Structure 1
Amino acid sequence: MLSFIFNSCQDKNKKTMKEEFDWKESVSCPLGYPVDVFMGGLELTDGGYTSLFSGLHTGLGGWGSEGRSMSSGVKPLPKRLNVIWISFVEKTFYHVDAELDYEKIAGLFRKGYYLPSINKDNPEPFKENYWTINVGFAPGGMAVVWVAGAARQIEIGRYQGIKTEIPKEQVEKLKDEPVYSMLRPEYQESVIKNPGIVPQEVQDANKDKPIPYGLWDTYRKKYNWKINYELPKEAELDQMTYKLYNGEKVVLFGDYQIKKYDIPKELHWDYEEEKAIPKLISFRWNEKVKKNCGGYIKFKEDQIFKAFEELTQGKAEGIPLQITIRITHTGDDASVWLEGNGKSIGLYKSEVKIF
């Protein structure tokens, strides 16, 4: 089985495509649910592959965060995910073999995106390229692929792995290999009890609780929501950043920059499209006598998910919602509300920081 997977990474679909980009691979997992890749990786359009085998991943940065990379460079893009990994908390190996949406990946790499400049001498927005294919593994065999760059990450797709066992004859051959440790129950147990891998507070919080299978799929549910800012008098929104629970991240331009520069519509702060529930929203605005005012709202997970569910009554499609951020007239505090369906819910558990 293992030789089949390895060979398929090299031999399947030998048709070569000439498109090449400078990119690296990365692996992600949720905090508290460490993973390690046993074998395999991303199959490329020229018949080669990029391995995802790069050591244990802890998820300390959270779901969707980038891990280490072993093969940054110019090469074709991937067309398939074919990999075996271990979920240490489950003590289970999973195998996923799935075709990726090549055109979606290539379209993002070809187009790139724009970011606001922080250079006072060259204030115009600048074009940035995507440079990472990030692969996330969550309990239950869930795999997600994102395309990422500086301050931006977009989901490509979600894939389902199946439980798999490593044949005994292969295990015997691996005793002198680093991957053999993944097969040992005592090593698996040591990983999940190591506070340097799973912080003690996370171990304590998860103790005696079942694994929340399906949680990371709820993160992917998209809603028809937008932002409404109530800023101090004569202030203009400069830019904002969304960090979403599904691992996506985007930077958008406010009115201050839209008036000065030719910003693509999809990067306008008020561009309407369905998106996942926000984990954090940071923002910046300018006043007549004060520039570069800003802050962030970090949402409390249980509260914001309950509020979205309550206002949509479980029917996300088509129900317009609005997150209103009210900055005080003094510009040093803010409140945040979720509104829609004739109701308004104060998100008072949110962490608010204004500077």
Structure 2
Amino acid sequence: MNKAIKFLLSFLFFIQISCQDKKSNQKTKTMTKYEWTEGTSAALGYPMEVYKGGIECEGGEWVGLNFGIASGNQGWGTINNGMSNGFKSLPKRLDFIWMSYLENQFYQVDTEIDTEKIRKYFSQGFEIKGASGKPQHLNYDVISVGMAPGGVVVVWISGVGWQKEIGRYQGKKVTIPESEIAKLDSHENRFWRKDYLEMVHTREQIIPKKVQEENKGKPIPLGLWDVYRTRFSWKPVFELPENAKLNPLRDVGIEMINGEKEQFDAAKNPLSDFDFRAIPRSISMSVSDKDNNRYGAACNLDGKSSLDAFNTVFGDDPKSTKAELIIKVNEAFSFFTVKLKGENGKEAFIKTDSLEMFKSKKKN
């Protein structure tokens, strides 16, 4: 064998080994597993249930989502179900059919999702104050799929105190063939049973009585959950009594109407720069007075009042200005107000629901 042939064979062998190593490295990267559990979410008053299907993950892993009704009683974005906690590869595709009970309509979604965005968040994790007040680095460990009327699907990832939207997807209306329904057992065919549908519509544990009455005779507000995703440039600002301060050992927690959640380090001033966020839904915090007495405080924000306030300040253009969400605590540490104030001079108060402010303990 002459030298030229030997060289050619050696070169081809080297190329083959290099390609195998590259494929092996790519497979290792793709198959990195993280510890997480799956969950589903729905909007208050509009229960959903997956009929069949779930999440396809990298490497061919599969996670089912058909584990019961997502009632939405805890609000859009809140996880109603969770099944299998363990190390799994990351999601890459949604493929499932679900029932939107108030519409009496099945929808199907079959779409790729942003795996790299999920990977980035899972790899970075987040910071949160622990029980001792010291920052702790935690990881995202839940992937939730939200279903809203009109075939809207939203995917979030979440960890303690944090939730981030990954993407919004659109399902299409589908009809289950009679031939398929005929093969189902008495439990599987519940989606078509009159008694079961009546139960879903009337049981208070699924749709609270107050919500049933408020929604009676009203059309389903299709498109509302896309409105919730609108982002505005705002930041939280606190106005406290003299010599009072936010408790630096506790984070300030704010939930948004699009299902996202953030934790703000109370030891920082300002807490945050302006950032594009959805409209806030709830606020929780801890405040210390001049004598170092601590007060816990929290509230929900009235949804209509919040939408009206942001419309007043920003008008038809979410990018028209920047605004401060001013949380003002009274001198007696018994109450606080919430006001949105824009750099354009426009401002509006936001009504609060379930507001509480209570003395906790004195700092040692």
Could you state the TM-score of these two structures normalised by the residue count of structure 2?
0.85
Task: Verify: 1:347 aligned to 2:350, yes or no.
Answer: yes
Q: Cα offset for 1:213?
A: 0.6
Q: Cα offset for 1:53?
A: 0.9
Q: Is the 8 A contact 2:242 2:290 kept in 1?
A: no
Correspondence for 2:104: 91
User: What is the one-letter code of the residue matched to 1:249?
Assistant: K
Q: For residues 118 and 253 of structure 1, what CA distance do their matches in structure 2 show?
A: 14
Query: 1:58-207 maps to which residues of 2 (within 5 A)?
Result: 58-119=71-132, 123-174=133-184, 176=185, 178-207=187-216
Q: Is the 8 A contact 1:224 1:318 kept in 2?
A: no
Correspondence for 1:216: 225
Q: Cα offset for 1:281?
A: 1.3
For residues 223-281 of structure 1, the C-alpha deviation after alignment (integer angstroms, 9 at most, x for no partner) is 111122111223332331011101111111013xx49xxxxxxxx72132100000111
What secondary structure is seen at the aligned counterpart in 1 of 2:69? Answer: coil
- When residues 297 and 199 of structure 1 are mapped into structure 2, their CA distance, relative to the original with a 3 A threshold, is closer
Q: Cα offset for 1:318?
A: 4.2
RMSD of aligned residue pairs (Cα, Å): 1.9
Task: Verify: 1:31 aligned to 2:33, yes or no.
Answer: no
- When residues 105 and 332 of structure 1 are mapped into structure 2, their CA distance, relative to the original with a 3 A threshold, is same
Count of residue pairs brought into register by the alignment: 327
Q: Is the 8 A contact 2:312 2:348 kept in 1?
A: no
Q: Is the 8 A contact 2:237 2:271 kept in 1?
A: no
What secondary structure is seen at the aligned counterpart in 1 of 2:275? Answer: coil
Correspondence for 2:4: none
Correspondence for 2:287: 285
Q: Cα offset for 1:178?
A: 2.6
Q: Cα offset for 1:351?
A: 4.9
Q: For residues 179 and 273 of structure 1, what CA distance do their matches in structure 2 show?
A: 46
Correspondence for 1:5: none
Q: Cα offset for 1:204?
A: 1.1
Equivalent position to 1:51, from 49, 59, 64: 64
Q: Cα offset for 1:190?
A: 2.8
What secondary structure is seen at the aligned counterpart in 2 of 1:24? Answer: strand
Gap runs ≥5 in structure 2: 1-26, 359-364
Q: Is the 8 A contact 1:23 1:72 kept in 2?
A: yes
Q: For residues 160 and 185 of structure 1, what CA distance do their matches in structure 2 show?
A: 28
- When residues 166 and 82 of structure 1 are mapped into structure 2, their CA distance, relative to the original with a 3 A threshold, is same
Gap runs ≥5 in structure 1: 1-14, 260-267
What secondary structure is seen at the aligned counterpart in 1 of 2:307? Answer: helix
Correspondence for 1:11: none
Task: Verify: 1:320 aligned to 2:322, yes or no.
Answer: yes
What secondary structure is seen at the aligned counterpart in 1 of 2:76? Answer: coil
Equivalent position to 2:253, from 241, 245, 263: 241
Q: For residues 95 and 301 of structure 1, what CA distance do their matches in structure 2 show?
A: 29
What secondary structure is seen at the aligned counterpart in 1 of 2:311? Answer: helix
Task: Verify: 1:40 aligned to 2:53, yes or no.
Answer: yes
Q: Is the 8 A contact 2:299 2:352 kept in 1?
A: no
Q: Cα offset for 1:291?
A: 4.5
Task: Verify: 1:225 aligned to 2:238, yes or no.
Answer: no
User: What is the one-letter code of the residue matched to 1:170?
Assistant: E
Q: For residues 285 and 207 of structure 1, what CA distance do their matches in structure 2 show?
A: 41
Correspondence for 1:250: 262
Q: Cα offset for 1:57?
A: 1.9
For residues 292-341 of structure 1, the C-alpha deviation after alignment (integer angstroms, 9 at most, x for no partner) is 33312421111111111111111111411111122223433322211112
**Bigger mean CA offset, 79-88 vs 329-338:** 329-338
Q: Is the 8 A contact 2:306 2:351 kept in 1?
A: no
User: What is the one-letter code of the residue matched to 1:354?
Assistant: M
What secondary structure is seen at the aligned counterpart in 2 of 1:173? Answer: coil
Q: For residues 177 and 348 of structure 1, what CA distance do their matches in structure 2 show?
A: 47
Which stretches of structure 1, 4 residues or longer, exceed 6 Å deviation after superposition?
none
User: What is the one-letter code of the residue matched to 2:157?
Assistant: V
Q: Cα offset for 1:31?
A: 1.6
- When residues 351 and 194 of structure 1 are mapped into structure 2, their CA distance, relative to the original with a 3 A threshold, is closer
State, as a whole percentage, how many aligned pairs show the same letter: 37
Bigger CA radius of gyration: 2
